Amino acid sequence: MSTIIKNGNIATSEKLLKGDIYIEDGIIVDIGENIQRDSDNIIDASNMYVVPGGVDVHTHLNLHTGSAVAVDDFYTGTVAAAFGGTTSIVDHIGFGPQGCSLKHQIDVYHGYADNKAVVDYGFHGVIQYVDDHIINEMKYIVEKEGVTSFKIYLTYDFKLEDQDILRTMKRLGELGAVTAVHCENDGILNYFRNFYLSREMKSPIYHALSRPEEAEEEAVNRMITLASLAGNAPLYIVHDSTAKAAKLIENAKKNKRNVFGETCPQYLFLDETLYNKPDNEGLKYIMSPPLRKKFNQDILWKYIENGTLDVVATDHCPFNFNKEKQYGIGDFSKCPNGAPGIETRLPLLFSEGVMKKRISINKFVDITSTKPAKIFGLYPKKGDIKIGSDADIVIIDPKKNVTIKNDMLHENVDYTCYENFELQGYPVITMSRGEVIVENGQFKGKKGRGKFIRRSVSKV
Ligand code: URP
Ligand code: ZN
Ligand code: ZN
């Protein structure tokens, strides 16, 4: 099967050129001006941007929290991803039973994703405790299972202590694997949560007040120190929500530390005043870290622009407002943490980033696709428009104006945080390995067509 995409504005993280892309059996075979080859399909991309498919390296499909299960599974979540122009995800697998092996949860997640996903997918492992067995198992997981990054948490039930983090990062660094970290100081959170709950201050705004910026900044600072002591092991800070935490990452990079930064659309477009919305709507935004004061947003954009923040991923972790989020009525601490976003990431960043001239089209490609693919070992198969790469390609119509309504989205959840946002430009075609899976609002893929990606170690 062959396809030619004609006359597009082809954007990579480095270049913008007008031309054609020729695809054979799912692989990009030729890129250039006016390619003359016979092909089974022709797609006219005149006046459109043609970009590498989005790579979302922070999703929580099917996540079982203590009280609820995230409502997108590997089918609904990846269909929504495809509509939003994302063609690969790397999902953060959830905690398993106490004392389980690393492989246990990877097997569980293969069971969740097999025969369901419609885009290609990988998993980040999760380190929920550390002993000799876990340290010894890491090599097998990295080399044989194709899982080359692991998440640790500094809060929640299975948080790790500093000495275990050092052991973990030392070993993962030796293996070339990346440690991704949820950075919040658990002691600070516990103190303030108890402080507010004991004074009957339980509405959604106290979720934010009980998780102050300082809790995140202390944890980011500590992780940079620990990674350095672990032999400059690769450290990836997930969901950076504050300007000061980003500043710490900037300094670490200046000092040649092997640190990568991620932020998410919610921290660029939403702020903490939303927790005070009437009718308990503030529950929609209960996520960790919480939404912050608005002044952070412009500064985070600057840190995207200057390369401090390498990636914008989603932390997609959806719960219905009218069901699971209601557990938090009368007590914010009972509300499942997380919000949807897998479908709106590229449209928001294209409209508010590229069209509003905050970032170039090349930077857009870098933060949504190329950089995450490189950091997490999906490159060069994913994350670029390059001869030999998978033909994971998205065509964006910059003239298509869309007002976001939850009804038009495909996330399996009853709200979006971006209702009524007016966007300039939207993805109109999503292609995965040469197959058009979304075209003009129609899903054309097949359940289960997505393949597990055995990742190599980081290419940065
Ligand atoms: O609130 C959030 N972000 N939920 C998902 C789990 C996590 O901490 O990333
Ligand atoms: Zn997290
Ligand atoms: Zn997360």
Helices vs strands, H then E, count in the chain: 13, 17
Give the residue among 54, 57, 62 at the shortest CA–CA distance from 151: 57
Q: How far apart are CA 80 and CA 76, in angstroms?
A: 6
Q: Which residues pair with 22 in a beta bridge?
A: 4, 30
For 219-248, what is the mean pLDDT?
Answer: 98
Residue 19, helix vs strand vs coil:
strand
CA of 356 to the centre of ligand 2 (A): 29
For 410-421, what is the mean pLDDT?
Answer: 98
Q: Is the CB of 287 under 6 A from ligand 1?
A: yes
CA of 287 to the centre of ligand 3 (A): 9
CA 52 from centroid of its chain's CA atoms = 16
For 114-130, what is the mean pLDDT?
Answer: 98
pLDDT for the residue 58: 98
Q: Is the CB of 336 under 6 A from ligand 1?
A: no
Residue 252 has pLDDT above 90, yes or no: yes
Prior bond of 289 cis (ω within 30°): yes
CA of 26 to the centre of ligand 1 (A): 34
Give the residue among 2, 75, 42, 109 at the shortest CA–CA distance from 453: 109
**If you write DSSP's letter for every residue of 66-130 in order, what string do you get?**
SS-B-S--TTHHHHHHHHTTEEEEEEEPPP-STT--HHHHHHHHHHHHTTT-SSEEEEEEE--S-
63-67, 111-115, 161-165, 200-204: range with lowest mean pLDDT: 63-67
Angle in degrees, CA 258, 260, 266, rounded to 5: 165
Angle in degrees, CA 8, 14, 18, rounded to 5: 20
Residue 307 has pLDDT above 80, yes or no: yes
Q: Compute the mean pLDDT over every residue in the chain, rounded to the nearest whole number.
A: 98
Q: Is the CB of 317 under 6 A from ligand 1?
A: yes
Nearest-CA residue for atom 4 of ligand 1: 338
Contact 349, 368 (CB under 8 A): yes
**If you write DSSP's letter for every residue of 137-188 in order, what string do you get?**
HHHHHHHHS---EEEEESSSTTPPPHHHHHHHHHHHHHHTPEEEEE---HHH
Probe residue for ligand 1, chosen from 124, 262, 317, 333 as the CB with the greatest number of ligand atoms within 8 Å: 317
Q: Are strands 311-312 and 86-92 parallel, antiparallel or unpaired?
A: unpaired
pLDDT tens digits for 317-353?
999 999 999 999 999 999 999 999 999 999 999 999 9
**Structure confidence at residue 423 as a pLDDT band (50, 70, 90):** very high
> Structure tokens of 43?
């797609």
CA 135 from centroid of its chain's CA atoms = 26
Residue 204, helix vs strand vs coil:
coil
Q: Is the CB of 338 under 6 A from ligand 1?
A: yes
Q: How far apart are CA 381 and CA 323, in angstroms?
A: 40
CA of 92 to the centre of ligand 3 (A): 7
**Structure confidence at residue 312 as a pLDDT band (50, 70, 90):** very high
Please report, rounded to a whole number, the percentage of residues in the chain having pLDDT higher than 70: 100
Residue 14 has pLDDT above 80, yes or no: yes
Q: Is the CB of 58 under 6 A from ligand 1?
A: no
For 413-427, what is the mean pLDDT?
Answer: 98
Q: Is the CB of 155 under 6 A from ligand 1?
A: no
Angle in degrees, CA 54, 347, 321, rounded to 5: 100
Q: Is the CB of 337 under 6 A from ligand 1?
A: yes
pLDDT for the residue 202: 98
Q: How far apart are CA 116 and CA 455, in angstroms?
A: 20
- Which residues, in sequence order, are CB contacts of 399 under 8 Å at separation 6+? 47, 425
Closest ligand 1 atom, residue 60 Cα: 5
pLDDT tens digits for 256-291?
999 999 999 999 999 999 999 999 999 999 999 999
**Structure confidence at residue 459 as a pLDDT band (50, 70, 90):** confident
Q: Is the CB of 91 under 6 A from ligand 1?
A: no
pTM of the model: 0.98
pLDDT tens digits for 355-381?
999 999 999 999 999 999 999 999 999
Residue 185 has pLDDT above 80, yes or no: yes
pLDDT for the residue 48: 98
pLDDT for the residue 458: 83
pLDDT for the residue 276: 98
